[in-house]
Structure formats: structure tokens, C-alpha cells
Amino acid sequence: MSKSSNDSSVPTRLIHDTCLCLHTQRAARALARRFDEAFRPLGLTSGQFSLLNAMNRETPRSMGEVAAILAMDRTTLTANLKPLERQGLMKITVDAQDRRSRKLILTAAGKKLLRAAAPVWKRTHAALEREAAAAMSGIDIPNLRAGLRAIA
């Protein structure tokens, strides 16, 4: 006889221990909280920091380009831009070459905030790498990044 409560061919325990989706969500939540806290004095979240970064270039990107870079749904990007635009950190302009497309442009305030956030990021990321090394001896951070890219 099999056990009464867990007779599935794929036990709960195996799924919990194995699932890359769960492991990635767990890490994503933990890292978001950590960077959110670090950026809080600047009135910025971790996601907003990544988003501003993706827009910080000479040649403005379109919504679709930024959404692809962040592996984010286009409609999520539309929503995420609203608070940034409201705070005057960036603006959305119609692309003159293709009037369906939008160019996402950082304002001076947005660039200034990014400059202020950069050392916070550097400090926080360095601490994260130190702790990761302590938690997992011989952790290979570049390899971890490559693995994350492979599953994204």
C-alpha cells in the first residue's frame, strides 16, 4: 500500500526541493526587499532603479525594447512608467518616424537620481555577493548570472 495522503507520482517534497520557478521567485522576492530597502531613502524601488537604468542612454529606447530587456510584459511596463512620469523622472514621447512607437527619455531629474542611486547599488550588491559567498562556499556569481539568463 502507498501512503494515504501523498500518492501522487510526483511528491510534494520533490517539487518543493526541485522547482526552479519557486527557487527563482523566492530569490526575486528576497532581493527585491533588500534593494527596495537600500533605495528607500531615495524614494526608489529596485524595479524602478532597473527600469531607469534601462532608459539611461543616448539613443532612447521604445517601450517594446525596454520591455524585452526587462523580460516584462508590455502592459506591465506601461503601468510601471506612470509613477516615474508623474514624479518627473522620465517622459514618454511619440516617435516621429513611427507614430505608433514611444520613445522613453530620462529627464535631468531622472539622470540625477540615477547618479545618486549608483553608489547605493554598488554597496548593496557588494554586500550581497559577500553574503552569498558565506552562504555557499565556492559560489560562482558569473555562472549564476549565466544560469539565470538561460532560464529567462
Residues in 64-123 that interact with DNA by CB under 7 A: 64, 67, 71-83, 86, 92, 98-102
- The single-letter DSSP state of residue 92 is E
Residue 130's binding partner out of its own copies, DNA, none, with CB under 5 to 8 Å set by partner kind: none
Nearer to DNA, 16 or 40 (CB): 40
Nearer to DNA, 77 or 113 (CB): 77
Residues in 34-53 that interact with DNA by CB under 7 A: 36-37, 40, 45, 47-48
Binding mask 15-54 for its own copies (x = CB under 8 A): xx-xxxxxxxxxxxxxxxxxx----------xx--x--xx
Q: What is the 3-state secondary structure (H, E, C) of 17-70?
A: HHCHHHHHHHHHHHHHHHHHHHHHHHCCCHHHHHHHHHHCCCCCEEHHHHHHHC
Among 42, 72, 92, 105, contact with its own copies (rule: CB under 8 A): 72
Query: Which letter, b or e, does each residue of 73-107 get, where b requires 16 or more Cβ atoms within 10 Å of its Cβ?
Result: eeeebeebbeebeeeebbbeeeeeeeeeebbbebe
Report how far residue 118's alpha carbon sits from residue 122's, in angstroms, rounded to the nearest whole number.
Answer: 6
**With binding defined as CB under 8 A, does residue 130 bind its own copies?**
no
Residue 36, CA atoms < 13 Å, CB-side half-sphere: 8
Contact positions toward its own copies, by CB under 8 A? Answer: 5-6, 8-10, 12, 15-16, 18-35, 46-47, 50, 53-54, 56-58, 69-73, 111, 114-115, 118-119, 121-122, 125, 128-129, 131-132, 135-136, 139-141, 143-152
